[in-house]
Structure 1
Amino acid sequence: MDYSVVLLLCGFSFLAGFVDAIIGGGGLIQTPAMLFTLPQYPIPTLIGSTKIPSLCGSLMGAFQYGRRVAVAGRFIAPMMAIAFGASWLGSWTLTRVPNSFMKPFALVILIAVFIYTLTKKEFGQVTRQSVPAHQQRIRMWAMGACIGFYDGFFGPGTGSFLVLGFIALIGFDFLKASAHAKLVNAATNLASVLFFVKEGTILYAVAIPMAVANLCGAFFGARLAILKGNQFIRIFFLLVITATIIRFGWDLVG
């Protein structure tokens, strides 16, 4: 592997980890970089190789947030287990059926999310306590199943969907939602890593250096998000959703 190629991919991976730690969406940077830079490899190999950097970034983000943000441990641990199993099932399903229908579906949802977040200035700015504990449990576990499967089956935008779910369904603010999203995303990424390791479709010569770069980006991204707070994360959320909409729209038109 050419060292200049590896360094270029590490740069993209650092940026992906930085963005992903704040609000999710790092896959929009890292995955296209792999596909464009190493077109000679099969797509499953490239996708599988991005999962190790993504896992490292998620773990670093989860660690940074966990030190400063209170986590609903009794609910999040079962949610992570459910998301892990659902992500594995999603990855297995991907090897048997096409996922091309997911892009238009996700695009419609993202446009609705963008409009809602833009018009509701108070969305995600404070933690609401109106959701009873038993409802939080049910909703979190359902989110883990649905979004976990989505991440294993398709992937892009998973972190943003998790943040949205924690805010809209559980009542968290942006900072707390991001902290919990990182934990769940780590579980889904771990499931995908184990699946692709089993399938033997990982370029370790690229994945390991990218993992270090992604981890470093996640460190700085999480620190910045914690320092700046909810309003900063909200703006970043809108930017990432916009980039995701443009990416999906471009792919559909092209």
Structure 2
Amino acid sequence: MAHVLEIDALTIILLVLAGLTAGWVDAVVGGGGLIQLPALLLVPGIAPVQALATNKVGSIMGTSISALTYYRRVGPDLRTAAPMAVAAFVAAIAGAAVASRIPAEAFTPIILVACVAVATWTLARPSVGRTTVLRWEGNRHVGAALGLGLLIGAYDGLLGPGTGSFLVISLVGVLGYAFLPASAIAKIVNFATNAGALVFFVPHGAVIWSLGLAVGAANLVGGYIGARMAVAKGSGFVRVIFIVVVGALVLRLGYQTVQQYWG
């Protein structure tokens, strides 16, 4: 992983644009990795684990500013965010530890089915996510948050793309939050998963820091703009963007699956 990559100016510009767009999408509803990670994978000579690790640097910069913006303007429920973030942090370390050993193709069909189910469920129930109606209180609520944090944290450490969207839909569909507070909580948890993955990747020298910081600076700007826009426009706006992002994820994973089995 120590070899030096030769990257031209046009590639850098495209990566920065990808980081800016990814930061905006991630701040609104999650799923910025659908844009940022594929862009990094196109860098000549980069190894998949390097792209995954470098993507985490870019993402954590964006999620830090969007989480802070949401915290100040929405006041996310820390009774949910704190235990979920701790569980996700630990699980993300474990996921990152096996990221280089398990091919992403093994998970693609499973994630595709899950995304189709999520999109169908969201479209079929337009009233879901408009208001917060929590399904459980007390220990049952905390237990559900911990379980979701472990599951999604492990996925983010292992693969990553779509994590923010999975967090939002789990907070809306399982715990009963409206889309806007769900996005606010998701940013805190997503920051923790990125941090957990980096705890493993950084000591192993997998991060390409020049790329990560350049993409991260753009991601930070996009995250700030996206979080402010989501807060201003509310849960209805977040729901629409969520459906668009999940639809894009379904198309991308569907194409990968077709190529994998019939290409």
Note the 1:76-225 alignment, pairs <5 A: 76-225=81-230
Instruction: Tell me the residue number matched to 1:5.
Output: 11
**What is the one-letter code of the residue matched to 2:72?**
R
CA distance in 2, matches of 1:126, 1:192: 33
Q: TM-score, normalised by structure 2?
A: 0.93
CA distance in 2, matches of 1:228, 1:179: 14
What is the identity percentage for the equivalent residue pairs of Structure 1 and Structure 2?
Answer: 38
- Report the CA distance between 1:177 and its aligned residue: 0.2
- Show structure 2 runs of 5+ residues with no match: 1-6
| 2:52–2:159 Cα contact (<8 Å) kept | no
Instruction: Tell me the residue number matched to 1:235.
Output: 240
Instruction: Tell me the residue number matched to 1:15.
Output: 21
CA distance in 2, matches of 1:11, 1:99: 25
Q: TM-score, normalised by structure 1?
A: 0.96
CA distance in 2, matches of 1:78, 1:125: 24
CA distance in 2, matches of 1:62, 1:188: 13
Q: 2:50 aligns with which of 27, 45, 49?
A: 45
Note the 1:17-32 alignment, pairs <5 A: 17-32=23-38
Q: CA RMSD in A?
A: 1.2
Runs of 4+ in 1 over 4 A off after TM superposition: none
Instruction: Tell me the residue number matched to 2:3.
Output: none
- Show structure 1 runs of 5+ residues with no match: none
Pick which of 72-81 and 154-163 moved more.
Answer: 72-81
- Report the CA distance between 1:253 and its aligned residue: 1.0
- Report the CA distance between 1:48 and its aligned residue: 1.1
- Report the CA distance between 1:51 and its aligned residue: 0.8
